[in-house]
């Protein structure tokens, strides 16, 4: 079985923001890194579990990391 990051940040939605899943469970929508960290805290993850740039912990799907609007997802 292939390794899967425990945190998945899904593609940006048309209206902005990205759905966030932790261990396969949807936990909410974030519109910024700050909101993402808040969601992760609310589900019990500590600062040590929130290395947003660590691909072993966070998988950013359908756009670049730290991009929250679809019009910015593929810009250079």
CA distances from 54 to 51, 57, 60 (A): 5, 5, 10
What is the pLDDT at residue 2? 52
Domain residue limits, the chain: 7-60
CA distances from 17 to 3, 32, 41 (A): 26, 7, 18
pLDDT in tens, 17-74: 999 999 999 999 999 999 999 999 999 887 766 789 999 899 999 989 999 988 876 6
- Count H helices, E strands: the chain? 1, 4
């Amino acid at each position: 079985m292939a390794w899967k990051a425990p945190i998945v940040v899904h593609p940006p939605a048309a209206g902005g923001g990205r759905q966030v899943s932790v261990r396969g469970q949807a936990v909410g929508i974030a519109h910024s890194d700050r909101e993402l960290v808040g969601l992760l805290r609310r589900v019990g993850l500590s600062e040590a579990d929130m290395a947003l740039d660590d691909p072993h912990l966070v998988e950013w799907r359908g756009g670049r990391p730290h991009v929250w609007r679809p019009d910015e997802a593929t810009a250079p």
